[in-house]
């Protein structure tokens, strides 16, 4: 679980010593402003963490009119903090000593912290997403097909990486198609060497499909269950997939594999990512 906690500290005001004075107060629980799911993926991949200090300017109507970073961690976490706060935080306005609403500010900090991941079982898998795209580039539907247990932060298997009803410009650029509906296939597979299990039945290699891009990675899992020696294997067809996050960007820790004598052993494996278009 990712910890993104808010330590609330409304700034003191001299008017608050009077009987009717009151500082601006959050309407909802501050824990709902930023949740575990809000940790920016790029910040996770860069292992960025720390405490972002911020100041919210609150109008006499209780609306947030500005968010200022007072303690920076990184551009990604700074921007995410203010974007989430201004969209989710709501306040009761501050009151002066006569009980009249006044403009004020709210100072606090957000602690972005990445704990150690929970180890997962080693296992091979193959996941497919059949994407139906509209002529305007909006994703109309996504049908997932998965063999094996996919280790992925997003829910919904391969489809968890996409949002129905949203314009997926990356997909249209990858497919090279605009102005008409089309079906697009995205596949990922993780296969460990020397272990019994599945063999990926890739769509892109079947008749009736045209390969658009292909990415391949080789990696090792240490005796402690950590990903090591992750390297790209040139396919000559990487295209736009070359810059897409892959298994080497994940903070996955595995339960170590065991040798026949019960001792931990090192494993190697291959990760594939493919994009293709059906001819039909």
6's torsion region: left (phi>0), alpha (psi -120 to 50) or beta?
Answer: beta
Look at residue 60 and give its three-state secondary structure.
coil
Q: Which is nearest to 193 in space by CA: 119, 260, 266, 263?
A: 266
Global confidence as pTM: 0.62
State pLDDT tens for residues 83-127.
Answer: 999 999 999 999 998 889 999 999 999 999 886 777 888 888 888
* 146 CA to centre of own chain: 20
Confidence tier at 12 by pLDDT (50, 70, 90): very low
Tens digit of each residue's pLDDT (9 = 90 or more) over 197-236: 777 788 888 889 999 999 999 999 999 998 899 999 999 9
pLDDT of residue 151: 56
* Per-position b or e across 28-48, b if 16+ CB within 10 A of its CB: eebeebbeeebbbeebbeeeb
C-beta separation of 142 from 132 below 8 A: yes
pLDDT of amino acid 150: 63
pLDDT for the residue numbered 16: 45
Handedness of CA 45, 46, 52, 54 (dihedral sign): negative
């Amino acid at each position: 679980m990712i910890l993104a906690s808010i330590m609330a500290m409304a700034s003191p005001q001299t008017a608050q010593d009077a009987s009717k004075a009151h500082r601006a107060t959050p309407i909802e629980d501050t824990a709902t402003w930023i949740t575990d799911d809000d940790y920016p993926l790029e910040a996770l991949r860069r292992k960025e963490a720390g405490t972002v200090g911020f100041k919210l300017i609150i109008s006499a109507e209780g609306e947030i009119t500005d968010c200022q970073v007072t303690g920076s961690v990184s551009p990604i976490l700074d921007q995410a903090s203010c974007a989430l706060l201004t969209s989710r935080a709501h306040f009761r306005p501050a009151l002066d000593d006569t009980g009249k609403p006044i403009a004020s500010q709210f100072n606090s900090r957000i602690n972005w912290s990445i704990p150690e991941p929970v180890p997962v079982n080693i296992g091979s898998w193959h996941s497919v997403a059949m994407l139906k795209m509209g002529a305007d580039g909006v994703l109309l539907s996504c049908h997932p097909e998965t063999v094996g247990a996919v280790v992925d932060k997003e829910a919904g298997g391969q489809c968890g990486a996409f949002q129905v009803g949203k314009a997926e410009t990356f997909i249209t650029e990858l497919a090279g198609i605009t102005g008409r509906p089309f079906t697009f296939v995205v596949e990922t597979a993780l296969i460990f060497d020397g272990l019994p299990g599945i063999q990926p039945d890739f769509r892109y290699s079947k008749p009736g499909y045209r390969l658009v891009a292909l990415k391949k990675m080789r990696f090792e899992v240490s005796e402690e269950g950590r990903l090591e020696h992750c390297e790209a294997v040139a396919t000559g067809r990487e295209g736009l997939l070359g810059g897409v996050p892959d298994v080497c960007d994940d903070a996955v820790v595995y339960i170590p594999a065991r040798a026949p004598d019960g001792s931990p052993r090192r494993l190697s494996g291959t990760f594939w990512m493919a994009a293709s278009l059906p001819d039909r």
